[in-house]
Structure 1
Amino acid sequence: MGITMEPVSKYRRQVKRIYFDSFPKKDRMPYWMLLLMAKMNHTEFRAFCDQGRVCGFSYFAAVGKITFIMFLAVDSKLRSKGCGSLMLKEIQSLYPENKVIVSIERCDKTVENLEQRLRRKRFYEKNGFLSTGCLLELSKEQQEVLVKNGEFDPQEFSEFFKKYSNGTMNPPIIPIGHEGDLR
């Protein structure tokens, strides 16, 4: 399998289907907004193809020494075949010196889709990501923060958001175990 990274503009319909199949409504931005925001500095919205077939996509931003992957999904028919790992390698090859950060749904024992969340966490751990011991609150949802290629610094991550959003985003970053500090 040889994956190439392509502009989403060539594969909008296929990427949109994967996006809607992969993320629950509460976790999605409107698709048109992704397309619009992909035109911002530092933002990449890419399809990943194998011999012309879209196998997944990623939406990420690179500012300074941080690459933050906001959305990464593989076509449901191609999962567990190595596509996601190849996609992560392609992203990191663009910014080889950067820390790569992802936020994933918490693996809280009370959720209905715990096994799915645990599989996602194992996928990232298999690909070299480590838990940071911190949560990120986005849209009133707390997500666990994982990092690869360096130590996680909450202040540096806050600065990433400020630079990326021109000062409009400053989501709370909370040490795990201090979630009560939010309310």
Structure 2
Amino acid sequence: MALELKKINEENMEGIKKIYHDSFPIEEMMPFDKLVSLSNDTDHLFYGLYDDNMLVGMNYLIINEDMVYVLYLAISNAFQNKGYGKVAINRILEQYSGYRISLNIEEVTPESLNYNQRLRRKSFYEFFGFESQQHLISNGEVTFETMVLNGDVSYQEIRRIFDDLQKHKSDWYREVN
């Protein structure tokens, strides 16, 4: 299975939007139209993930110097547990092998209502070699933990990305401590 990446456009926008809305709780979402308007060919990359011309997922990457930040990665509900998530991560790792690759997951705490899901998600990324940076950021409802591969990422680097995104959605993230 090989995934083809197709930039978001008029033809695939509704399908990608559905995957996005089905995959993330509202408190973790940027406004979809803002994501589309921010996406470009240099530092904000918004793609549909295709297997044999079938839309199976989406991702949104932010390139910042020598770091790739995975803002969103989701596989359509209809295609989950079929290996597409692993293929998508491997594609990112191959394409950006010379970069530090960073992402945030919901903080894994036993008192979380979806504790097992959070634990599985963290284990999924650890399988690829991602390590926790112990950077915690909250949007007031959800606390996120930073994970990275190929080096360390400082809290300030993550903060700069969020501050830039913050301009487009007030109170989206704030510091925890």
Q: When the two structures are superposed, what TM-score results if normalisation uses the length of structure 2?
A: 0.85
Query: Which residue in 2 is equivalent to 1:68?
Result: 69
What displacement does 1:81 show? 1.8
Query: Which residue in 1 is equivalent to 2:24?
Result: 23
Query: Which residue in 1 is equivalent to 2:145?
Result: 144
State the distance in 2 between where 1:172 and 1:94 align: 31
Q: Any unmatched runs of 5+ in structure 1?
A: 174-178
What is the one-letter code of the residue matched to 1:16? K
State the distance in 2 between where 1:31 and 1:15 align: 10
Residues 137/36 of structure 1: CA separation in 2 closer, same or farther (3 Å cut): same
State the distance in 1 between where 2:99 and 2:162 align: 15
Query: Which residue in 2 is equivalent to 1:34?
Result: 35
Residues 7/166 of structure 1: CA separation in 2 closer, same or farther (3 Å cut): closer
**Secondary structure of 1:77's partner?**
helix
Larger deviation: 26-35 or 42-51?
Answer: 26-35
Query: Which residue in 2 is equivalent to 1:83?
Result: 84
Indicate whether 1:14 and 2:10 are aligned: no
Kept after mapping to 2: 8 A contact 1:66/1:160 = no
**1:26-50 alpha-carbon deviations (Å, 9 max, x no partner):** 1112211111111385100011100
**Secondary structure of 2:120's partner?**
helix
What is the one-letter code of the residue matched to 2:83? G
Q: When the two structures are superposed, what TM-score results if normalisation uses the length of structure 1?
A: 0.82
Equivalence map 1:104-143=2 (5 Å): 104-138=105-139, 141-143=142-144
Kept after mapping to 1: 8 A contact 2:42/2:63 = no
Indicate whether 1:2 and 2:12 are aligned: no
What is the one-letter code of the residue matched to 1:5? L
Indicate whether 1:56 and 2:47 are aligned: no
**1:100-122 alpha-carbon deviations (Å, 9 max, x no partner):** 00101111222211111112111
Q: Any unmatched runs of 5+ in structure 2?
A: none
State the distance in 2 between where 1:14 and 1:160 align: 26
What displacement does 1:134 show? 1.9
State the distance in 1 between where 2:28 and 2:174 align: 17
Total equivalences in the alignment: 172
Report 1 or 2 for greater relative contact order, CA contacts < 8 Å, sequence distance ≥ 6: 2
**1:69-96 alpha-carbon deviations (Å, 9 max, x no partner):** 1111011122222211211222233332
Query: Which residue in 2 is equivalent to 1:176?
Result: none
Identity across matched positions, percent: 26
Query: Which residue in 1 is equivalent to 2:95?
Result: 94
